[in-house]
Amino acid sequence: MPGGGKNKTGGLATAKTGRKLGARDGFLAGAPVFIGYFSAAVAFGVLARAGGISLRESFLFSALVFAGASQFMALNLLQAQIAAVEIILATLLVNSRHLVMSAALAARLPEKRSWLILPAAFGVTDETFAVAATREQSFGPVFLLSLGVTAYSGWVGGTVAGYLLGTTLPPALQNSMGIALYAMFAAILIPEFKKTRHALFLATGAGILHTVLTWGGFFSPGWNLIAAMVLSAALGACFFKEKGE
C-alpha cells in the first residue's frame, strides 16, 4: 500500500503540501483494495450460499454491513444458531475499532459540515483507513468517498459473484473456503504483532479465555465470545499503557 509515514509526534501523516486529493485519486488509490476485497468477498458469497442464505440476503448482508471480518464471524454464528442479540453485540465489539479510525480521519478533513462526510464514513474500513491515513497530501470527503465506493463495489460485487460461482464448485472446495474467516482476522492482527508484543499477548489471552469459557460451559457460545472480547480489552486497557513520546 502507498507509504505515508508518521509525523514527529508519532501520529498520522498530516502534511498538507501539494495539491488536494480528489475523486480520481480516490478511485486510483482504491483499486488495489478493490482487487483484495473482491477475492475475499467471493469466499464469503460461496460460504453464504453453502450456509443456506439466499442471494438477496447475501447481497444485503454485504451491501448494508460492509465489514468483512464481522460478516464471516456473523455467518458462522448464524449457522451455529446463535441468538440475534449475541451476534449483534459480538459484531459491534469487533467493529468498534472503526470509531477510532473515523475520528482520526475526521481530524484531517477541512470541511467539517459537508453532507458527503456521512456516506464517506460508511466506507471506512481497515484497508481504506490505511490508504487514507498514509497520504501526506490534504484530502476532503470527496477523496474518502471515492476511495470507499471503490472498495465497497469490490466487496459487494465479489459477494454476488461468489454466490453465483458456488453452484460450479465442488462441495469440498466450498467448505474449505471457511479458512477465509481466519485469514481475515490474521490480516488485521499480524501488522499489530509486528508493532508490539502487547497485541500478541492480548490475542493469545483472548483465545485461551474463550477456550476456557467454552469448555467450562459457563455461557452460550455467543456470550462466551462476547465475554472473551470484553475481558481481554479490559485487561489490555489496565496492563498495557501507551508509551509517551
pLDDT at 7: 46
Q: Is 65 left (phi over 0), alpha (psi -120 to 50) or beta?
A: alpha
Taking the C-alpha atoms of residue 6 and residue 135, their distance in angstroms, rounded to an integer, is 10
pLDDT at 137: 85
Taking the C-alpha atoms of residue 169 and residue 130, their distance in angstroms, rounded to an integer, is 34
pLDDT at 183: 65
pLDDT at 161: 93
Q: What is the DSSP letter of 244?
A: P
C-alpha cell at 45: 458469497
CA angle 136, 139, 141 (to 5 degrees): 145
Taking the C-alpha atoms of residue 153 and residue 174, their distance in angstroms, rounded to an integer, is 23
Taking the C-alpha atoms of residue 186 and residue 192, their distance in angstroms, rounded to an integer, is 10
Inter-axis angle of helices 221-239 and 68-79, to 10 degrees?
140
Q: Do the beta carbons of residue 54 and residue 173 sit within 8 Å? A: no
Residues in CB range of 51: below 8 A, 6 or more apart: 75, 78, 79
Q: Which residues of the chain have pLDDT under 70?
A: 1-18, 170-189, 191-193, 195, 220-222, 225, 239-245
pLDDT at 244: 43
pLDDT at 2: 40
Inter-axis angle of helices 197-216 and 221-239, to 10 degrees?
150
pLDDT at 34: 92
Q: Do the beta carbons of residue 152 and residue 123 sit within 8 Å? A: yes
Taking the C-alpha atoms of residue 123 and residue 138, their distance in angstroms, rounded to an integer, is 18
